[in-house]
Structure 1
């Protein structure tokens, strides 16, 4: 029963007209019709649908039940759904699932172990385990082609996702959590090891860049360090300087 209550919670958060409209406007501004995009951690499919509305060719990845089943039944047929997680290698992995708060279900054991003490996670418990198939970004690129953009929302598992990538991507975004700034700093360092990136945050579900320009890694890290722990989470976008 609790996992269906968690599903309903996610539905109410992400399937509302304001959020949907904001992300559709946003992706029309950053994507070009025909772009190949990956939605890693598709969850309810809000972003996948918004990117499709911008004319992109979308491959969505979601391993968690019941969300994968919901996407299988409701996504437009021209969105490719892969019921798998993305990580450092092709294997089978164990996901820690929060039935009441499924948005924070995670493959990252360190994240789950430390989150209970962090602001905003006081009432979260990870009460189930689910075996999931894991694939890599390099393998997906070999199969589908180089994406113009990759959205990553994987609750502390970002470094592992990027560990399966050996070349820079034109543009990507990762969820940042103000209570876990070191996770996002690690992502910034990993990206800078792959290429010359510039950064720009989107706070919450606003669907708008915070800065009028794209800034370097030091500026992004300084901004993260200045966020209060109870600040709203969001997405940190990274774009190759040559694009």
Structure 2
């Protein structure tokens, strides 16, 4: 049986990483878990996010994956080191790949970051960017309304455009040449965000760089898939599986099956 790459997120956002992994590593099997029943993670405490992330990891380990991807910026900021210490397989987050892409892109060393309240409060992107480029200037903005819009599948509505314009207004007075979409949900809104920010601001999604890191880590551990068979991916979610399936099929451009998961332990709400 082919060992899979396990990818988890607070909801549908991690599908942006899934799409890029499917494109760059088409032979790799993916097992995905979206915690749609408890999304968004952004307003929650770091301890809650760690607890939820560990619970999902424990669920995914039954499939004996060869690598784990925390495809949620909030969970990466709160739980990456904790999860790495708790499992015996490589664990990849999405913050450092996104920071690397921004450092490679910016010409003026002024980078914007939008994300959930939890990600922005953690300053994880600030630390990651300055670790790579100590003199870089980082401008952060929390956009808490974006994740609920994506989770409801409201990508193209007039109301969503107005909300994005309102949320991003504080950035218009800032000088920057690239903006990190510091939440894996945000690429669903990429076209509208781009139109609001203008052509002079490059948008950075961590999905592309994360997929490259996955490839590098698997190669380093001699775990790249060797079979030419088309992999059969598995998708799980803890909330509305029909809505999740609808969003996933639109984003991935193919038919998928989603299995709902009912937690057997008390939820923290």
User: What TM-score comes out, normalization by structure 2 length?
Assistant: 0.35
User: Which is richer in strand?
Assistant: 1
TM-score by length of 1: 0.38
Rg: which structure is higher?
Answer: 2
